[in-house]
Amino acid sequence: MKEMPTAIDGTLRKSFLRVPEVIRECSGINVFGKRIKSLVYTTDLAIIRNVNADAILAVYPFTPQPIITQALLLASDVPVFTGVGGGLTNGLRSVMLGTNAEIQGAIGVVVNAPTSNETLKSLSDTLDIPVVVSVISDDCDIEGRIKAGASILNVSASKDTPKIVAKIRKEYPKFPIIATGGPTDDTIRETIKAGANAITWTPPTVPHLFKGVMNSYRINVEHHH
């Protein structure tokens, strides 16, 4: 093991968010020569600029908008996987959004669980960047997804995640799997053991982080009076 030099941190960036160290234990997924182990699940630009994740998973529960993708890609200093719908936003529109995301510099696109295999196939035929397919329950037809052109599976099935990851891993030993790690180091480790190659981490929200800051400000103000 080579010795690491002293880490460099700015005085003002002490409140930087760090993904759980345990995520380093997974293999990572190589996308265009970049090894990605940790993905932060957020669309918050302030968090994107202040977190040490390898990549951003930017999916949100509204119709995808190119202006949002543009803002995320402009602000992020790490690769961004961006949502292109697939359920409500299907077929041609998803392909247009995907093409747009690729042109703007996204490293990959994410389609949601209700996406049809036809839409998935159109996307994977059209795009040169990976298409990530979300898997949210055990009844997903994995073989159909892979045949239709999924490049990566993103398992987000709450507490069933490790079980589903293990099942996919058994059938497809080499297929790239991203999965949600859950709230603790132990749940993350369990997901990695099940066969996840990369882990998505949900950061605390800005209001939640502010609570701590505000409390320390209040204490300081009280001290000064």
CATH number at residue 87: 3.20.20.60
User: H or E element: which one contains 126?
Assistant: helix 117-126
In a domain, 132, yes or no: yes
Q: Hey, what are 205's tokens?
A: 């929200």
Pick out the chain residues at pLDDT < 70: 11-15, 222-225
Q: pTM for the complete prediction? A: 0.91
Predicted local distance difference test score (pLDDT) of residue 29? 98
* 58 inside domain: yes
Q: How many domains does the chain have?
A: 1
Question: How far from chain centre, in Å, is Cα 9?
Answer: 25
Over residues 122-172, the pLDDT tens digits come to 999 999 999 999 999 999 999 999 999 999 999 999 999 999 999 999 999
Of the candidates 78, 77, 122, 79, the one whose C-alpha atom is nearest the C-alpha of residue 97 is 122
CB-CB contact of 96 with 119 (8 Å): no
Asked, for residue 158, whether it belongs to a domain, the answer is yes
- In order, the DSSP letters of 3-68 are PPPPP---STTTT-B---GGGGGS--EEETTEEE-EEEE---HHHHTTB--SEEEE--SS---HHH
Q: Label the pairing between strands 34-36 and 29-31.
A: antiparallel
